[in-house]
Chain A
Amino acid sequence: MRLYAGVIRFFIVVVLIHIAMFLVVGALARRSEGPELPPNTLRLATDAIQVRTLDPVAVGDTASSGICNQVYEGLVAYNQKTLAIEPCLAESWDISPDGKLYTFHLRRGVRFCDDPCFPDGRGREMTAADVRFSLTRVCDPVAMSTGFWLFDDRVVGATEFNQQRAEFLEKHPRFWEEAEAWLGPESDGVPGLRVLDEHTFAIALKRPFAPFLKVLAMSYFFVVAPEAVKAYGAATNPPGKDSFFRHPVGTGPFVLERWEPDVEIILKRNANYWHETLPHVDAVRLISRRDPHTAFMEFEEGNSDMAGVPDEDWERVMNEDKTLKEPYAGRYRLVTSATLTTFYYGFDMQNPPFKGNKALRQAFNYAIDREALIRSKIYRGLGRAAYGPIPPGLPGHDPANKRYAYNLEKAKQLLTEAGYPGGDKLGEIQLYVSGANDSQDRTSVVVMEELRKIGIKVSLKQQPWPLHLESIDRHEARFFRLGWIADYPDAENFLALFLTRNWKPGPNSSSYSNPEFDELYDRAMLEPDEGRRAELYRIAADIIIEDCPWLFTTTGEGLALQQPWVRNYPRNALGLGFYKNVIIDRALTAPMAARDQ
């Protein structure tokens, strides 16, 4: 009996220790939910809130720009559906007849959100000086801007300013301790960024650049409050100090209420927002669900307003024709959109065997059955076959041009013309891939098999992403997989990948060079008329299709399910969310919840 009593006592002690520990840890632990959120809240469970920074100039990933898009705004904005340019902080603008001077008339009465960085804690009115300050930061390596390439050699004086700041950096290794590292709103470092008066701002370009407004709507060019950068410190903050990276102060429809990494992000309506009726929702709550399948379950439970369909749930939810199966079709809304993404296999145009051998590159292009690839289990019909560099949805894309439609005979014949009949003398070609994503890896295996059919032996060389990029930079990879996600919705963004002046370290991964193409590109940039420019894009794309520095593969398509109570949340080709326009229609919530029970 003594033994049993001992065992029982022991277990009581263990249980008490656990309770004590839970109480202590519970008191220490961050709670995942702040105050109760209003019913009019957009709730998203997503695997994509690994936000790195909320400093617009340093944003380089979609998760970060997704949040920046809610708390900040630029001079102009994209239409949430068509991505056409709309007024935003600038009410209107004029473009000079020579296409080199853009004058923006700022909206009056736009105020920053309230924040302790302002003298009285209340957001002051945004002025042209703030726009200059924000755009100057884009050119400043001290701010660790990742968007300078968009202004480089385009905005008057931007390149010189960047050089000057780079020299400053070189001389001051501990630059965050130097007063000079700080560029106040009064600094006019870039001559092309001009404050004309409090509500008028101008940008002078070195030469016309037709897609410039589309560039300006990108998150790099959002307007930030100089007081916040100064108070919280951006790149210039000494290590350990709280950072502007985590403390956004902008003019956007929402303010950042809470950001717990790997737990949640809460956005609240900005009380100072200039639009009278927007945003429709009072708050947005993004909860982190790293596993897409878990995120989808939360959606099915009604805890999330939107979700993608993960691979493991696909066959349960989707029909082969990309419609919803029952009972899902009766419950959810399906929204799809082509995305401005293209996947390809690049050829190194400066090294054998692809250098100077167009027939060989064309043979590769004829050997791939892209339509079968899209229909296969890898893509399940999501996406499109790519026959050129410009994805569908952009002016210059020519849907009729399917020149490299699958044709094994033609491929074999071209291989012979290329000097490698039967592929024999070619030896084994290494295809460099990066294990970024399962469907991409499986595509590479298909490509390998397809090429074997015309006698080309391919082996895969799998590397981590940073190494993959370095192998391409060093011209070690002669045949390599890459993709391009549009930075802004203009065909120029894709055609620029073939410019001679964008050779490495620029984004011309194939090191393609063709003076005729470069000249056409430049002509298109000078062309203010959209229709004529689209025609120039098409001709330029035809040159690329003829020369094929890439093995064109597929373009992307996005798909999401929405709860019936979500309104006005279309998908667009950049995958950008415009939470301010979303309507949560509570009348539709009730029957939904009842059916779930």
Chain B
Amino acid sequence: MSSYLNYTVRRLLFTVPILWGVFTVTFVLFFIVPGDPARLLMGQHRDAATEQAMKVQWGLDQPKHVQYWNFLKKAAVLDFGQSFTNKRDVRQAILERLPATAVLGIPSLTIGMFLGIAAGLWSAMRANRAVDNTIRFITFCLVSVPFFLLAILLQWGLGQQLHVLPIAGYINGPWGWWHLALPMFVMTLGSFAGLTRLTRTAVLEVLTQDYIRTAKAKGLPELVVVVRHALKNAMIPLVTSLSVSVAATLTGAFFVETVFAWPGVGLLAVDAINNRDFPTIMGTVMFGAVLFVLADIVGDLLTAYMDPRITLK
């Protein structure tokens, strides 16, 4: 157990230089990509004094290295300052939107994961038969169709034609949870399709191994062979990919958020980029980076737990 703790502490320490690197790259990119945020706010009527006042308050009048240091000092304590465009505190804005992102992202991911693994297993067990072909065809369609198209189709069918679900909008009131249904369904289908295909491939590969043949030869029922022996081993590549998709789901739901008017972090990030709103860009990028890094650590720990061949150093 202590090796896990040791490993976790060391990995957490190691995240510091990673996050610092992300910060630096974002900072440099922001200043390399031209486009002055003050100019953008002023539009075609310019007024030098006001532009200067904006820059002073945003700290953009300082030399670049001073700006870098000032932003870094604050970012270290998760203070990203105020948005250039609407003066809201960036940390507060992210925290406000976090529940919306989480309540949509986490269930979509876990439900998609369980269904995906189950379908993948089934598909692998019936490889190249009708069931397998059907599942492969459906998941192939799902991964090929863009998210937003699926979203619009469902919105039209279930919302506008059948009136069973609300078209869009955020949770409101005790019955407002239905608003979650369509966006969650779309997101779930996304993670489901990818994971089904991944599981199928991983399980099929394991099924050709000698120890599976041994297990079958012992006379174990097929389901036991597959779940206890094959899936356990097939989980290793799955867990690695899962840790990436956790972060991707939580940060990359932009299209779903736009179509279903879901006030998540994705919309915040895209608006910030369009407005050259540096504090918000930095805040959302760092938020995504922290998620990625944490998911990666959890993924590695799980892999080590499942695969005795891997030792944590």
Contacts and interface: CB of A to CB of B under 8 A. Distances in A.
Nearest to A297: B167
B49 A261 contact: no
Interface in A10-64: 11, 14, 18, 21-22, 25-26, 28-33, 50-53, 60
Interface of A: 3, 7, 11, 14, 18, 21-22, 25-26, 28-33, 50-53, 60, 141-142, 144-146, 148-149, 152, 162-163, 165-166, 169-170, 173, 175-176, 235, 239-240, 243, 245-246, 260-263, 287-291, 293-294, 297-298, 300-301, 303, 464-467, 469-470, 482, 484, 487, 505-507, 509
Contacts of A176: 57
Interface residues of B, number: 68
Nearest to A240: B89
A298 B167 CA distance: 7
B171 interface: yes
B56 A60 contact: no
Nearest to A303: B167
A291 B258 contact: yes
B53 A142 contact: yes
A3 B223 contact: yes
Given A21-B107, A60-B41, A466-B34, A162 B85 contact: no
B170 A3 contact: no
Contact of B49 (A29, A141, A240, A243): A141
Nearest to B97: A262
A246 B35 contact: no
Nearest to A260: B263
B49 A162 contact: yes
Given A141-B50, A291-B168, A298-B167, 17 more contacts: A25-B102, A26-B171, A26-B177, A30-B99, A32-B176, A52-B86, A141-B47, A144-B57, A162-B49, A163-B49, A240-B89, A260-B263, A261-B88, A263-B263, A290-B258, A294-B260, A470-B35
A141 B86 contact: no
A348 B258 CA distance: 39
B46 A287 contact: no
B261 A22 contact: no
B15 interface: no
B39 interface: yes
A243 B87 CA distance: 8
A165 B159 CA distance: 56
Interface of B: 34-37, 39-50, 52-54, 56-57, 61, 81-82, 85-89, 93, 96-97, 99-100, 102-103, 106-107, 110, 114, 152, 155-156, 159-160, 167-173, 176-177, 223-224, 227-228, 257-261, 263, 267-268, 271, 276
Contacts of B173: 31, 33
A593 B171 CA distance: 24
A249 B226 CA distance: 67
A28 B155 contact: no
Contacts, number: 185
Contact of A32 (B41, B107, B171): B171
A175 B168 CA distance: 44
A549 to B, nearest CB: 15
Contacts of B259: 290-291, 294
Nearest to A21: B106
A341 B176 CA distance: 41
Contacts of B44: 469, 482, 484, 507, 509
- Counting from the closest, the 6 A-B pairs by CB-CB distance are A466-B35, A166-B49, A141-B49, A33-B172, A29-B99, A262-B263
Contact of A240 (B39, B82, B223): B82
Contacts of A287: 169, 261
Given A141-B53, A466-B35, A290 B107 contact: no
Contacts of A169: 49, 52-53, 56
A17 to B, nearest CB: 8
Given A144-B54, A261-B86, A294 B167 contact: yes
Contact of B261 (A7, A152, A294): A294
Contact of A469 (B39, B54, B86, B114): B39
Nearest to A244: B87
A300 B155 CA distance: 13
Given A291-B259, A297-B167, A469-B44, A141 B52 contact: yes
B198 to A, nearest CB: 20
Contacts of A170: 52
Contacts of B47: 141, 145-146, 148-149, 152
30 contacts: A3-B228, A21-B107, A26-B171, A30-B100, A33-B176, A141-B49, A141-B53, A145-B50, A162-B49, A173-B56, A240-B82, A245-B87, A261-B86, A261-B263, A262-B97, A262-B267, A287-B261, A289-B168, A290-B259, A290-B267, A291-B261, A294-B260, A301-B159, A301-B160, A465-B35, A469-B39, A469-B44, A484-B44, A487-B45, A507-B44
